[in-house]
Structure 1
Amino acid sequence: MFSKSQIPNLITLLNLFCGCAAIISVLDQQFVAAFWFLFAAGWFDFGDGLAARLLGVSSEHGKELDSLADMVSFGAVPGVIYYTLLFAGQDPAPASAPAIGWSWYAAPGLVVTLFSALRLAKFNLDTRQSENFIGVATPTSTVFAVGLMLIYDQDAFGWAAYVSSPLVLFPVIALFSYLLVSEHPMFSFKIKGAKWAGNETRIIFAALALALLLALRAAAFPFIVGVYLVINFLAPPPRH
């Protein structure tokens, strides 16, 4: 019998489905479709926890399922994106190669997936993230990768060649692999009421993010994440 306790798990499985669909879309070079699948996965990732709290049915089983779904949507997907961009940026391109194939040259893109797994395993056992994050959360890492994917797909501002270059991607992969498992505190996006006090950083970041979206549109996401990182390193939140 279906019960209300299964509703959050069903939402989590929708997150997982969207993550799998995003991987297929990236490998098929259907990058806009991949973006929308990940957009939906993000909402489902938010929705399962919200549903569990509203229904009062939180469980360890649900938490583990959520972590597994996140590993696909926000761990495997960014690795596949980096792999795909590195493969696309090979110079010269492999003769008569398929749209996507295996290449050791592009394999370092999957390192982010490994560090995402390390992060999710680490913080499954760590209870310090009650208010803020420690290190970069996997969805934040994914947003940056998705932004590069969209820039490549649309050649926004003529930057496609740059975001598929190993000179750009290898440092990005190394940086996010480190940040995923770092101990640096990062503010979360939980708004504390409707007041300015206590929400200053979040409100300022939201305003900057909106301005970047309006100015850069699809190319904005890596810059939004960049602003997020700069704010956190210049004015880190307190550890909780």
Structure 2
Amino acid sequence: MAIKKHLPNALTCLNLLCGCVALTFILGMTPAQIEGGGPSYIFSADTWRPLVLAAYLIGIAAIADFLDGLVARALHVSSPIGKDLDSLADMVSFGVVPGAILFKLLQQVLPMYGLPLGLAYLAFTISIFSALRLAKFNNDTRQSDSFIGLPTPACTLVVASLPLILTYDSFGVSALILNPWVLLGLTLLLSGLLVAEIPLFALKFKNLTWQDNSLRFVFLLLSVGLLVGLQSAAVPLIVLLYVLLSVVRPAAR
């Protein structure tokens, strides 16, 4: 029984560990050697390797974050300490890490556009709004079976997908992603979505009937299709799909 009691918290600690290790890769990233200049720069695949490793770790963190709640409900061992621990771990893996990834991306590209490096610190806007999001979640009774605002893991998966897309770019979107105004705009958009009063469905299955879970099943099927077809480039589209389905089918939550 003692092992069952601590299993959800162990998964939460795995989430936290992955976030901490991801930060070591991100913050240890050195400025890239760039071929060319101006907006026509070319980065080698090695440039993004630390961020790619961090992205994989964040994927593991997201799985652990999903499982800790699932296991806690299944074993009936939820506790206030577990809830607080979950938020603290999420603040690292899904608050500090996405800000750090965007910071490093902006550090790479701002000089190529003749823009001041100080703009890179705006990346941590997403960390601040993640903290606000987590604080709201812990004190909002409306979010027991659904979400109000974009969950921090979903936000972070969008950011973490960027270095993967840059490394395995089969669709020629690197130039778009590496535009500093696009990165700054994405930062502000995601920050706003984190605290927006938008009801979003949760992937919590009380049963497996189509009637009660049609929206979730449709979302999962479309997500798998996007992942098969677009691989890492599908992640931002999946999160966009998640928001759109929530807005279009609010009654299905």
Q: Which runs of 5+ in 1 are unaligned?
A: 95-101
Aligned residue for 2:117, secondary structure, equals coil
**Structure 2 CA distance for partners of 1:180 and 1:51, relative to 1, 3 Å:** same
Whole-Å separation in 1 of the counterparts to 2:110 and 2:80: 44
TM-score (norm 2): 0.83
1:181-217 Cα distance to aligned partner (Å, 9 max, x none): 1111011112342221121211221121111111111
Give the aligned partner of residue 101 of structure 2.
Answer: 81
Q: Where do residues 204-215 of structure 1 align in structure 2 (5 Å cutoff)?
A: 204-215=218-229
Q: Given the alignment, which residue of 155, 180, 193 partners 1:166?
A: 180
**1:223 maps to what in 2?**
237
Q: TM-score, normalised by structure 1?
A: 0.87
Q: How far apart, CA to CA, are the structure 1 residues paired with 2:127 and 2:252?
A: 28
Q: What is the DSSP-based 3-state SS (H/G/I as helix, E as strand, rest coil) of the residue aligned with 1:157?
A: coil
2:128 & 2:169 partners in 1: Cα distance? 29
Residue number in structure 1 paired with 2:14? 14
Identify the structure with the greater helix proportion: 2
Cα distance per residue 1:116-142 (max 9 Å; x no partner): 001111111112112111111001101
Is the 2:59–2:157 contact (alpha carbons within 8 Å) kept by the matching residues of 1? Answer: no
Contact 1:186 1:237 in 2 (8 A): no
83, 104, 121: which is aligned to 2:135?
Answer: 121
Q: Are the equivalent residues in 1 in contact too, given 2:25–2:54 (CA < 8 A)?
A: yes
Alpha-carbon separation, structure 2, partners of 1:103 and 1:110? 14
Contact conserved, 1:89 with 1:161, CA < 8 A, in 2?
A: no
Matched length: 231
CA contact (8 A) 1:11 1:47 kept: yes
Of the three residues 134, 141, 144, the one matched with 1:130 is 144
Structure 2's unaligned 5+ residue stretches are 30-47
Relative to structure 1, is the Cα distance of residues 24 and 154 closer, same or farther in structure 2, using a 3 angstrom cutoff? farther
How far does residue 9 in structure 1 lie from its aligned partner after superposition? 2.2
User: Match of 1:174, as an amino acid?
Assistant: L
Question: 2: distance between equivalents of 1:232 and 1:175?
Answer: 17
CA RMSD of aligned residues (A): 2.2
